[in-house]
């Protein structure tokens, strides 16, 4: 990391703020050289010293603060920032500069906290910043972004993201994520997109495991005036609405197997 980067006003400002979190725990070691150097001739102009607020200690202060405190600090900072992409990205860039490795785990904790506070716009900004760094490119992160976009009333953007990043690979997309997108379409009355997505899943012989998915698809067909398609779907997946559906049967068999295992252990 170059010294010019460390001495940027943003880094210096954040370092100054962070040092107040646990000032008693921060100890900066300074090494003084024992060698003596002859002073330069008096007729030469002396270089002006750096202003105190731009000097970075030899032991970088970010390394002396616990990860928990740094995470809490960033979370608080994100809540206090104005609604500016540049401000959010700048704070994240400065914060991550302290780390040797990208702190994906800490950012996940921050995202979960922002979700609990229903800070959907900020969640979108943080995830987009992560993706711009080539980090967090997982189905879990994609689902979190789609949900945040939907809650932030940006469903068209959620739809475009789905089409660009996920929709072209329906044979392997987890059903949980597919159900999320079907619910987004259903909630926002994007029924044609819902039906298109479900047909794409059927084309890959993907079998839904939740009757709620089928109910939403059937309702969408009905509202679109496609009654025969509604009846076809309800008949094809009728087992999901019965007590002997594969999901419930699997759960029951698992419970019975567990009981037998416990009985065998007691017998011994």
Domain housing 103: 1-29+52-110
Task: Check pLDDT > 60 for residue 56.
Answer: no
Reading the block at residue 48, the tokens are 């002006």
Task: Check pLDDT > 60 for residue 143.
Answer: yes
| Whole-model pTM over 0.85 | no
> Which range has the top average pLDDT, 21-25, 210-214, 255-259?
210-214
The answer to the question of residue 13 being in a domain is: yes
Task: Check pLDDT > 60 for residue 160.
Answer: yes
Is residue 195 a contact partner of residue 217, using CB atoms and an 8 Å limit?
yes
Higher pLDDT, 17 or 233: 233
The answer to the question of residue 191 being in a domain is: no
The per-residue pLDDT for 208 is: 94
Which residue do the tokens 């993907």 mark?
A: 206
Is residue 143 a contact partner of residue 177, using CB atoms and an 8 Å limit?
yes
The per-residue pLDDT for 28 is: 36
- Contact partners, residue 157, CB within 8 Å, separation at least 6: 149
Q: Which of 23-32, 40-49, 66-75, 151-160 has the lowest mean pLDDT?
A: 23-32
Give the chain's radius of gyration (CA, Å). 28
Task: Check pLDDT > 90 for residue 137.
Answer: yes
Average pLDDT, the chain: 79
The torsion angle over the Cα atoms of residues 100, 106, 107 and 113, rounded to 10 degrees, is -160
The answer to the question of residue 92 being in a domain is: yes
Report how many domains make up the chain: 1
The answer to the question of residue 82 being in a domain is: yes
How far apart CA 241 and CA 31 sit, in angstroms, is 74
Which residue do the tokens 């689902």 mark?
A: 143
The per-residue pLDDT for 53 is: 43
pLDDT, average across residues 191-208: 96
The answer to the question of residue 132 being in a domain is: no
Q: Which of 145-149, 159-163, 182-186, 238-242 has the lowest mean pLDDT?
A: 238-242
The per-residue pLDDT for 251 is: 52
Maximum CA extent, the chain: 98
The answer to the question of residue 67 being in a domain is: yes
The answer to the question of residue 210 being in a domain is: no
Q: How many of the other CB atoms lie within 10 Å of CB of 36?
A: 6
The answer to the question of residue 104 being in a domain is: yes
């Amino acid at each position: 990391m170059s010294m010019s980067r460390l001495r940027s006003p943003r880094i210096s400002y954040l370092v100054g703020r962070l040092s107040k979190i646990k000032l008693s725990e921060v100890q900066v070691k300074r090494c003084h050289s024992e060698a003596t150097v002859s002073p330069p001739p008096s007729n030469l102009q002396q270089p002006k010293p750096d202003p105190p607020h731009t000097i970075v200690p030899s032991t970088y202060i970010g390394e002396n603060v616990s990860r928990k405190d740094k995470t809490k600090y960033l979370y608080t900072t994100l809540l206090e920032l104005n609604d500016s992409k540049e401000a959010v990205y700048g704070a994240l860039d400065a914060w991550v500069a302290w780390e040797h490795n990208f702190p994906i785990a800490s950012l996940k904790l921050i995202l979960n906290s922002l979700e609990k506070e229903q800070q959907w716009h900020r969640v979108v900004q943080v995830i987009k910043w992560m993706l711009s760094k080539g980090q967090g490119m997982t189905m879990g992160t994609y689902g979190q972004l789609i949900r945040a976009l939907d809650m932030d009333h940006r469903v068209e953007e959620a739809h475009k993201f789905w089409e660009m990043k996920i929709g072209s690979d329906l044979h392997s997309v987890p059903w949980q994520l597919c159900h999320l997108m079907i619910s987004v379409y259903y909630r926002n009355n994007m029924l044609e997109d819902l039906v298109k997505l479900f047909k794409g899943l059927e084309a890959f012989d993907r079998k839904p495991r939740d009757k709620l998915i089928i109910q939403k698809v059937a309702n969408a067909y009905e509202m679109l005036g496609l009654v025969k398609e509604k009846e076809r779907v309800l008949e094809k997946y009728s087992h999901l609405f019965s007590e002997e559906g594969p999901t419930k049967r699997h759960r029951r068999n698992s419970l019975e197997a567990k009981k037998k295992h416990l009985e065998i252990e007691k017998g011994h």
